[in-house]
Amino acid sequence: MPPALRSLRRLALLALTAAALTMRTADGAITLSADFDQGGLDLANSSVAGTTVTLAGRDNFNPGQWKWLYFRADGVAGLTPQFRIGDNFNTGASSLAGHAMVYSYDQQSWEFFDNNTLSTSQDTFAFSNQQPFNGDSVYVAYGLPYPTERVAADVQSRASSPWVSPTTTGDASLVIGASPGGIDDLGRTIGPHDLYGYKLTDSASPATTKKKVVLFGGVHANETLGNYTLEGLVDFLDGDSPEAARLRRLAEFYVYPMVNPDGRFAGYNRSTVESPTVDPNRAWDPPLYDSVDEVRTVATAALTDTGGDVDYVIDFHSTVNGKEGHFGYVLPAYQSDPLWQNFLDLEPSVRTLTALLQDDTGAKFGRDQLNAEFSITLETQFLAGENIDRFLALGANLGLAFEQTLRIAGDLNFDHALDAADWQLFLAGADADLSQLSAVDAYAAGDLNGDGFNDLIDFDLFKSAFLTAHGPAALAALLAGVPEPTSLPLATLASTTLAGVAAARRHR
């Protein structure tokens, strides 16, 4: 056949194919796609027969098994399709027992499917809704997605915060480098993507007295809940609560929110696009950096930004159904740490599992390379009924636990010590009108109970804290003005000043 005729025939076939696809859609047939940020579906081995949609999960990193699913179904308005996928889940079919898939019309608000059934006899997991879809297109996922574009948008919103600044290795856009990109298992060109890092703290307090905290997220491509938990923590740190304001004066947080953006964008199960057979959470060690560029970039940035000497490291991950619920992998030496215990008080359902820190994980890097005194992997589980708000709240409670751990009652200058310097600040604030101050500045002037005044109630709180910290003899010495060089004993000064405050308060 002459080349010109072959070309005409090819164009005719393409036109017929396009027409057929258009007709199928117009006739109400369901079509599938997953070529978008974090989309994950083996489209070639998926099929649609009426309202039965048979899905195939991609098995990148886990040969013959899937561990992430995220696609769009078009033409579903007014229908109640049943979706099915094989039970060849990476950690075993039992991990699908009790699991619930999610759906969304806008990729922002997610709901759980009504019916979620594992059938071991048919080797399938089936899910559907009781009521028909009310939109023509619906997004469906294994769990709550957290795409790379959400990371970029979140970081951009942080850049204007008065508490956020670039790290030593970052630029004004909070970018510390770029991922390498590559060709994914479907033959698509992926990346490169920006790698982010930023510092969150209140610069009003001296850095020399602050604790350093490093936060990693997004190491594994499909572990999205860790990013929501990290976002919830950063929301708290960047928020307006008195606890957050105090915490910003007590600590500086170094945030690296997405270590593996290429894998996340490509919809991978676990690995990076550059090194699809390497677990990036086994590459946090200098000899292994060359195989995972993203880890090398983030790890070296964290070392440079913090000086390699930090107090806390938390690496945020997610785990699948059938495991341990939400839990922390915690080295035995860290399990009694006040931060972890305060967090467990706020989140009693979170479990503690023993970590060995033998593999080259982010937590091990935190202990061995960043010299952290506390370094853990926090795992959050995909649980039916637990939506985005649950994980944001989990992160906020971690922020509260940090504040409870690092704040010493009566430490008015936020230097992690309760001493005579704080007493002097307390006395100086006794005659001041604190109502016009911010909550944290009022606290620094002696308003320990947050009512806008430094008065006898606060005096009792200060005395109680000092007594607990130093004992009765030290408290007596403080109130007697020993060893403070003042002509007027501090006890007399305290009683005079506070009596005046109390009288003024009675007449306000």
> How confident is the model over 75-132, as pLDDT tens digits?
999 999 999 999 999 999 999 999 999 999 999 999 999 999 999 999 999 999 999 9
In CATH, what number is assigned to the domain containing residue 254?
Answer: 3.40.630.10
Statement to judge: residues 376 and 468 lie in one domain: no
Residue with the two structure tokens 């630029």: 171
Statement to judge: residues 185 and 252 lie in one domain: yes
pLDDT band for 207, please (50, 70, 90 cuts): confident
pLDDT band for 503, please (50, 70, 90 cuts): very low
Nearest to 218 by CA among 149, 307, 321, 139: 149
Residue with the two structure tokens 């033959």: 187
Q: Which amino acid is at 234?
A: V
Considering the domain boundaries, does residue 348 fall inside one?
Answer: yes
Determine what percent of the chain is predicted with pLDDT higher than 90: 85
Contact partners, residue 145, CB within 8 Å, separation at least 6: 38, 70, 107, 110, 139, 224
Residue 15 reports pLDDT greater than 50: no
Statement to judge: residues 269 and 298 lie in one domain: yes
pLDDT band for 289, please (50, 70, 90 cuts): confident
* Cα separation, 329 vs 227, whole angstroms: 17
* Cα separation, 494 vs 401, whole angstroms: 33
Considering the domain boundaries, does residue 412 fall inside one?
Answer: no
* Cα separation, 102 vs 79, whole angstroms: 17
* Cα separation, 360 vs 501, whole angstroms: 58
Is 176 in a helix, a strand, or coil? strand
501 or 72, greater pLDDT: 72
Predicted structure pTM score: 0.90
Statement to judge: residues 377 and 451 lie in one domain: no
* Cα separation, 219 vs 254, whole angstroms: 16
Contact between 406 and 337 (Cβ < 8 Å): no
Mean pLDDT computed over every residue of the chain: 90
> Which value, in Å, is the radius of gyration of the alpha carbons in the chain?
28
**What is the number of domains present in the chain?**
3
Dump pLDDT digits (tens) for 330-371.
Answer: 999 999 999 999 999 999 999 999 999 999 999 999 999 999
Considering the domain boundaries, does residue 415 fall inside one?
Answer: no
* Cα separation, 327 vs 307, whole angstroms: 29
* Cα separation, 26 vs 331, whole angstroms: 58
pLDDT band for 6, please (50, 70, 90 cuts): very low
Contact partners, residue 270, CB within 8 Å, separation at least 6: 60, 61, 62, 67, 220, 221, 222, 263, 279, 280
Domain of residue 136, residue span: 3-141
Considering the domain boundaries, does residue 150 fall inside one?
Answer: no
Statement to judge: residues 478 and 374 lie in one domain: no
Statement to judge: residues 75 and 192 lie in one domain: no
pLDDT band for 204, please (50, 70, 90 cuts): confident
Statement to judge: residues 208 and 308 lie in one domain: yes
Nearest to 339 by CA among 469, 211, 204, 165: 211
Statement to judge: residues 275 and 302 lie in one domain: yes
Dump pLDDT digits (tens) for 211-259.
Answer: 999 999 999 999 999 999 999 999 999 999 999 999 999 999 999 999 9
In CATH, what number is assigned to the domain containing residue 96?
Answer: 2.60.40.3120
Considering the domain boundaries, does residue 361 fall inside one?
Answer: yes
- Give the per-residue pLDDT at 194: 98
Residue 409 reports pLDDT greater than 50: yes
Considering the domain boundaries, does residue 342 fall inside one?
Answer: yes
Q: Which amino acid is at 261?
A: P
Nearest to 100 by CA among 311, 386, 472: 386
Statement to judge: residues 316 and 432 lie in one domain: no
Statement to judge: residues 379 and 283 lie in one domain: yes
Burial class (CB in 10 A: 0-12, 13-18, 19+), 93: middle
Residue 46 reports pLDDT greater than 90: yes
Considering the domain boundaries, does residue 147 fall inside one?
Answer: no
Strands 124-128, 82-86: pairing is antiparallel
Statement to judge: residues 321 and 384 lie in one domain: yes
Considering the domain boundaries, does residue 332 fall inside one?
Answer: yes
Measured CA distances, 224 to 236, 260, 269 (Å): 19, 11, 11
Four-CA torsion 122, 123, 125, 130, nearest 10 degrees: 0
Residue 3 reports pLDDT greater than 70: no
Contact between 407 and 342 (Cβ < 8 Å): no
Statement to judge: residues 100 and 243 lie in one domain: no
